[in-house]
Amino acid sequence: VRKKARAWSGKAEPVRRSAVLGAGIMGGGVAFQSASSGVPIVMKDIRGEALELGLKTAGQLLDRQIDKGRLDAAGKQRVLDNIRPALDYAGFGEVDLVVEAVVENPRVKAAVLAEVEDQVAANAVLTSNTSTISIDLLARGLKRPEAFCGMHFFNPVQLMQLVEVIRGSRSSEATIARTVAYASAMGKTPIVVGDCPGFLVNRVLFPYFNGFNRLLRDGVDFERIDRVMEAFGWPMGPAYLADVVGIDTMVHADHVLQEGFPERMGHDGEPIMDALLASGALGQKNGRGFYEYT
């Protein structure tokens, strides 16, 4: 019998209200998930159109639940009422936890985190949804690095069960416990991992992609590899997964891992995805990756 992973035993203050910075693919997903789980959330962006798109996407996800008979119109409205779109920091003084989900750029993230730190209460927790940037690096500019950790959701947030909670060297136990509690309240499965390139999931996933790359260089067709992995039981093969994630995101994460663990993650020969990216293919987001999308 496979035992369930041990639950977090620390005592945590619940998150009663939260905020997310960035209303993009991930920020919009976090807002939807929090609101659906009954935790009201402020969703802040610097662009009004991003807020509109985030709300529209949430509405569409809720409509799908209505179509399946799992929700009624009043339920949909209750969830939407739990998301407050914002272009400024009004209301941030009342939130218990903030998820930063702006662009994957260390300078932008550091500036945004330092800014929001001055807007929240002294006991609020700050987290970052970064996929590749060191939590210790982002903590450097903060006045309360003990109240900061990583909270790494996967795309699409509403479907992906796992959340990596990343413990920086200065993150306090209370910070980790509260972030774990928030992920659990959102119906997710949190795991606490250390701060290192790729955290945990990408350190497991990228050696698989390196194996995929070797097969491609040996002349095996990518569609065949996808079909084989699907028949093996994975929900999708590596080529389709790379297109879903985005070829640019894949290449960026691969470089971070190669720099972090050169002797373990190095490639023999040029990775095919670097060449794809150089040709302008970004995956599903621009209709061209390993496959073509219309």
- Give residue 21's region: left, alpha or beta (phi > 0; psi -120 to 50): beta
CA-CA distance, 156 to 58, in Å (whole number)? 12
Is 152 marked active-site?
A: yes
Site for ligand NAD in 106-125 (CB under 6 A): 108, 112
Residue 149 bridge partners (DSSP): 127
Residue 19 in the binding site for ligand NAD (CB under 6 A): no
Residue type, 272: I
Site for ligand NAD in 207-266 (CB under 6 A): 245
Interface mask toward ligand NAD for 123-162; x: CB under 6 A: ------xxx---------------------xxx-------
Is residue 134 a contact partner of residue 112, using CB atoms and an 8 Å limit? Answer: no
Half-sphere exposure of 267 (CA within 13 A, CB side): 24
Of 12 and 135, which CB lies nearer to ligand NAD in the complex structure?
Answer: 135
Interface mask toward ligand NAD for 34-73; x: CB under 6 A: ----------xxxx--x-----------------------
Least distance from ligand NAD to the Cβ atom of residue 291, Å: 18
Cα 249 to chain centroid distance, Å, stands at: 12
Residue 282 in the binding site for ligand NAD (CB under 6 A): no
* Cis preceding-peptide flag for 106 (omega within 30 of 0): no
Which residue do the tokens 């209709």 mark? 287
Using the rule CB under 6 A, give the single segment among 72-80, 99-107, 167-175, 269-277 that binds ligand NAD.
99-107
Residue 33 in the binding site for ligand NAD (CB under 6 A): no
Least distance from ligand NAD to the Cβ atom of residue 21, Å: 5
- Beta-carbon contacts of residue 9 (< 8 Å; ≥ 6 apart): none
DSSP summary character for residue 183: H
**Residues marked as catalytic:** 152
Residues near ligand NAD (CB under 6 A): 21-27, 44-47, 50, 101-104, 108, 112, 129-131, 153-155, 245
